[in-house]
Structure 1
Amino acid sequence: MHTIWKGSISFGLVNIPIKLHAATEDKDIKLRSLHKECHTPIKYEKVCPACEKELEYEEIVKGYEMTKGKFVVLEDEELKELKKGNEEKAVEIVDFIKMEEIDPVFYNRSYFISPNDGGKKAYSLLRKALTNSKKVGVAKIIMRSKEQLAVVRVFENTLLMETIHFPDEVRSSGDVPNVPAENEVTDKELDTAIMLIDQLTTEFEPEKYHDEYRNRLMKLIESKQTGEKFVTPKAKQPKENVTDLMAALQASIDKSKPKEETKKTKTTKKKKRTSAKKAQ
């Protein structure tokens, strides 16, 4: 597994030399933009619209837009000077908390942590301590010249670090438009909705979820590569247009009922009909 960062974890006086490895990977299928006429990949060049010329790397500087069309220019040397204080590569755990206290909206990216040379015993100690205490460590780390907040926890016997957003990076839910202020549902609707949730509740099995669009896209690409004719499945029958909330909930519950229950109901009805005929 490729190492993307080397440094150390520290909590109290304990220091653990570590390596970070990306815990996830982007499996999006990358499509290039081509010239329709000759199928040549299109280039995206850095062009100054005012001077109408393509720019070299050394002709470009960083700038912050203070107001529309007015920038403060920041030189490379000035930025390098600011970064000098952030060069120490350490994950400093500053607090320990319960994981359920962090809302998932704060999570950003995940990294596996492995011990570097001489760090196995201290690594095992932190892993065991976090497991037994049922806590996670809140830490600060400098990555790519940026200070980030992170959580250190145990995942399948491996230490995992997840970068999390700072509070001012999470937008206020109060700014979301058209959210109803009060509950406009009846007790019967609520009870029916909870019944549906109970029927559909199961244990989380990540293996059963797949990126269906990516799979279909790959099949299309492969069929074109081999010259085969690509066929699409028949369109699904449109669902009934149920506008009433209670009817929609009840239809969902009926649809989610086990087939055996339906069979039992049919068998019971059949027996009742037979008994009625005999009685006649």
Structure 2
Amino acid sequence: MHTMWKGTISFGLVNIPVKMHAATQNNDVKLRQLHKECQTPIKYEKVCPVCDREVGNDEIVKAYEYTKNKFVVLDDEDLEALKKEQTDKAVEIIDFVKLEEIDPIYFERSYYLSPNEGGTKAYALLRTALKDTGKIGVAKMMIRSKEQMAVIRVYQNTIVVETIHYPDEVRDVKDVPNVPQEVETGKKELDTAKMLIDQLTTTFDPEKYQDEYRIALLDRIEEKKGKDEVATAKTTPTPDNVTDLMAALQASIDKAKKDKPKPKQPKTRKTKTKAKTKKTAEG
């Protein structure tokens, strides 16, 4: 299992060296977007609308928009200094609480923790203490340049970190529109609803549930592959540097010719032909 992070968990004077691993994965079927005409994957480019050209990663800076079109630019040194300051801190358990005191709306993502070198005994100590007390630890940690709230708990004999949202990240339920207040319900309807709940009540078995849409989509993909209903993207030839240079030079020449002002035609002196002819005839 891939190690995402190494560090220590501390509670009181106890420090536990640990490794962190992703506990979940996204199994969504990823679909690409193709150009219908030639079946080529569509490219997504970073384009500056003012300069009207594609920009590279080395031309991009990060900034905070504090008001419309007004930004505070943060360079790499600013961000690295803050990141190092936080990364150097261990995952410190601040409080111990009961799991049921935290509403599921706060939970975000799960990570497994395994003991790093020399941490087996302290790991087992924390695991046993959490099991025996029925408590979970509330901690802070740094993940992907963000200081994250988390809870430390035991899941099937393994210590798990559950990242949780800060209170200001959970939207106020009062802002949800059209939520009815207390509404009178008839006793008969309520008894029927409770009876239905009782009939459908069972022990939670996660293996019983599956993503029906994903399974059907994968089956459909295999079916189309079996019928040879597939598309092959056309390859785009990559010009070499010489070709690129010659093309650029020719374009420059063509542009120069187009932009070059036309030379002015010299003015011709008008002669009085008729007068000269008449004078010659008289002589």
Aligned-partner SS, 1:96: strand
* 1:73 Cα deviation after fit: 1.8
AA aligned opposite 2:176: V
Question: After the TM superposition, which parts of structure 1 deviate over 6 Å for at least 4 consecutive aligned residues?
Answer: none
Q: When the two structures are aligned, how many residues end up with a matched partner?
A: 229
RMSD: 1.3
* 1:82 Cα deviation after fit: 2.3
Aligned-partner SS, 1:38: coil
Aligned to 1:123: 123
Which structure: larger Rg?
Answer: 2
* 1:58 Cα deviation after fit: 1.2
Aligned-partner SS, 2:31: coil
Distance in 1, matches of 2:129 and 2:96, equals 11
AA aligned opposite 1:83: K
* 1:68 Cα deviation after fit: 2.0
Q: Which has the higher contact order (CA 8 A, sep 6+)?
A: 2
Distance in 2, matches of 1:83 and 1:18, equals 20
Distance in 1, matches of 2:159 and 2:93, equals 13
Aligned-partner SS, 2:24: coil
Aligned to 2:244: none
Aligned-partner SS, 2:219: helix
* 1:79 Cα deviation after fit: 1.9
* 1:89 Cα deviation after fit: 5.1
Aligned to 1:238: none
Q: TM-score, normalised by structure 1?
A: 0.79
Aligned-partner SS, 2:154: strand
Distance in 1, matches of 2:81 and 2:16, equals 28
Distance in 2, matches of 1:78 and 1:153, equals 34
Aligned-partner SS, 1:202: coil
Runs of 5+ in structure 2 lacking a partner?
230-283
Q: How does 1:35-74 map to 2 (within 5 A)?
A: 35-74=35-74
Aligned to 2:159: 159
Distance in 1, matches of 2:24 and 2:80, equals 30
Identity %: 65
* 1:145 Cα deviation after fit: 1.7
Aligned to 1:18: 18
Distance in 2, matches of 1:181 and 1:13, equals 50
Runs of 5+ in structure 1 lacking a partner?
230-280
AA aligned opposite 2:223: S
Contact between 1:88 and 1:142, CA under 8 Å: does it hold in 2? no
2:24 is the counterpart of 1:30: no
* 1:195 Cα deviation after fit: 1.1
Distance in 2, matches of 1:89 and 1:162, equals 18
Aligned to 1:244: none
Aligned to 1:225: 225
